[in-house]
Every structure is written in C-alpha cells, then in structure tokens.
Amino acid sequence: MIGSSIKRVLLIVTIGVLAASGSLTAHAQSKNPTLEWFSWSIFRLTSTSGKVFLTNPFVVNPFSQVTVDDFKKVDYILVPTGHGDEIGQTAEIALKTGAKIFTTFTFARGYFGPRKISTRQIFRVGPGSRVRVDGMTVRAVNAVHGSTTREGLSDASAMGYFITFENGLTVYFAGSTAVTMDMQLWGRLYKPDVAILPLGPSTDPGDVVEMVKLLRTDNPNLKTIVPHHHNFGLKVRANVPAKRAKGISRRYNGGTKPADLAAALKKAGLPVRLLDPELGKVYELTK
C-alpha cells in the first residue's frame, strides 16, 4: 500500500525556507493540484491552472511561521465558521490580494462588510450551495460545529467545502465538524479523492475513522486522508511568552497525534493513506 500511496501523493519540492524578502517562494505550476500546510488548519491548494485556494488563514496562531504578507497571490479563501482560528486573517489577506471569500450571508454583511471587503469579493454561500469558478466547482456542505465570531456575531451555518479541480480531482475540507451521517451521502454524491479532516488534541481517532468509512460510501476514490488542527511536533513561535508557550506546547503535543490516527486507520483495514504534511512542503495530489 505504501508504494501505491506514494504514486497518489508525491512530494515534489520543498519550500520550508522563506525567501529573503519574507515571502513564500513560488513553486512551479503542476499538471495536478498541489497542497501545502502552514500549521493549524492553514492549507494552500493550487489548481492545475495556478488558481490558489486558502483555508482558515489563522496566521497569528502561536505555531505559525508565516504572516499575511507571505501570501502574495490568493484567488479564493474558504471560511467554514466565524471562530477566530478559522476566519483568521481572511479580511486582511483579501484586502491585500483581492481574493474572493466564500462565506455566509451573515458574515458577508456583519463581519466582512465593516472591514471594507467589497461585495464583489464575496460568494455568499450556505450548505447546499454550488459555485463554479475558473473551470472548477466549489460546494458548501454543513458541519456539526459552532460558528460565532470573537465579537459575538453568530451564524447557524458552520460549513465544510468540496473543491473539484479542473482535472476532476475532488478535495473535501471538512472544517471542524464532528462525524455526521451526512458524510455517507457526500461520499456517494461528490466522491472525494482527498479528505482533510479535523484532528484536534482531544479528538478520538475512532471518530475520524468513522468519517473515512462514511466518505467511502460508494466511493473507492478516497485514498488520501490529511489531518488538520493538531500542530503536533511544531515549535511555538519565539515571540510567544515562555509560560504561555509551555502550556500551548503541552496541550498540542500531549493530545491526539497523527500517528494515533494512522494506527486507527490501519486497524480498521481501510485502504487509505494518511498524509501528515510537513510545514512548507508542496505535495502533488493525484487520483
């Protein structure tokens, strides 16, 4: 299984070191979509035509080695909820790059509007929405999670997203959802090839195994699982006060680990590979 998995998800280049200017080194356009992880739930997904999707740009998190200025090109930002670690610095990046934001009507009007984000930069979506952009399809689905901003603005619609790229490969970004039977339907309908699933420090790996089983309903395409939200093994930024850094490190390094999920997937006998990405490396995603 390891050999076939390497064919499915191929490490093509490392960009762990930031350029002298402080911006992330651009990588060559690939014939397949690519994935990069920048801590927490920050993923950059680049399409075959070079369009850039960003998820949960919480770049001020204590593990982040990147800033708003490091993202020179962003075309779309997916916002699952209003929580600080998911909505993150979406507004700042959108203002800087002109990126279009996928978010709910409530947040479009009540959160991004006051932050001077043009309505032309917003796709107002909710669970069930389908948007076609640049030869790709983005679907919003529900998520079992809260959705309130730090200011107290609340929205009932926590979401996840399915992105179908130009070559037909589909990635499911689940946001912070708990396991839900809806995943069985999504697996049958949308047939994801890659699923980016939540694995926080308190997550039961068995719950994520159930997510995978449900998403594989009538869907043998799902072969690659990517955990997010764990921060395991990452160093806290140097500018974080020592006492706080110690507590943060203890929490994230003492909880559920990607290795725990890998063991649970193996025990369940599921024909999938866990891709635990390294910071700042580019991974090519194939069917």
Residue-range domain boundaries for the chain: 31-285
How high is the mean pLDDT of the chain?
A: 87
Work out the pLDDT band at 29, boundaries 50, 70, 90. Answer: low
Which of 63-72, 163-172, 181-190, 218-227 bottoms out in mean pLDDT, i.e. has the lowest? 63-72
Q: What is the mean pLDDT of residues 174-187?
A: 96
Q: How high is the pLDDT of residue 23?
A: 39
Query: Which residue's entry shows tokens 């680990």?
Result: 257
Q: What percentage of the chain has pLDDT greater than the value 70?
A: 89
Tell which residue, 121, 138, 99, 162, has the closest CA to residue 107: 121
pTM higher than the cut 0.85:
yes
Tell which residue, 62, 67, 88, has the closest CA to residue 235: 62
Task: Choose between 22 and 252: higher pLDDT.
Answer: 252
pLDDT at residue 210 tops 50: yes
CATH superfamily of 31-285: Ribonuclease Z/Hydroxyacylglutathione hydrolase-like (3.60.15.10)
Q: Can you spell out the DSSP letters for the chain?
A: -HHHHHHHEEEEEE--SPPTTSSPPP----SS-EEEE-STT-EEEE-TT--EEEE---TTSTT----GGG----SEEE---SSHHHHTTHHHHHHHH--EEEE-HHHIIIIITTTT--GGGEEE--TT-EEEETTEEEEEEE-SS--B-TT--B-S--EEEEEE-TTS-EEEE-TTPPP-THHHHHHHHH--SEEEEE--TT--HHHHHHHHHHHTTT-TT--EEEEES--TTPPPPTTS-HHHHHHHHHHHHHS--HHHHHHHHHHHT-S-EE--PPBTEEEEE--
Q: How high is the pLDDT of residue 84?
A: 62
Q: How high is the pLDDT of residue 24?
A: 54
Q: How high is the pLDDT of residue 80?
A: 92
**What distance lies between CA 196 and its chain's CA centroid?**
6
Work out the pLDDT band at 153, boundaries 50, 70, 90. Answer: confident
Beta bridge partners of 161: 140, 173
Work out the pLDDT band at 15, boundaries 50, 70, 90. Answer: very low
What tokens does 164 get? 């179908």
Which of 51-55, 91-95, 148-152, 181-185 bottoms out in mean pLDDT, i.e. has the lowest? 148-152
CA–CA separation, 119 vs 142, rounded Å? 23
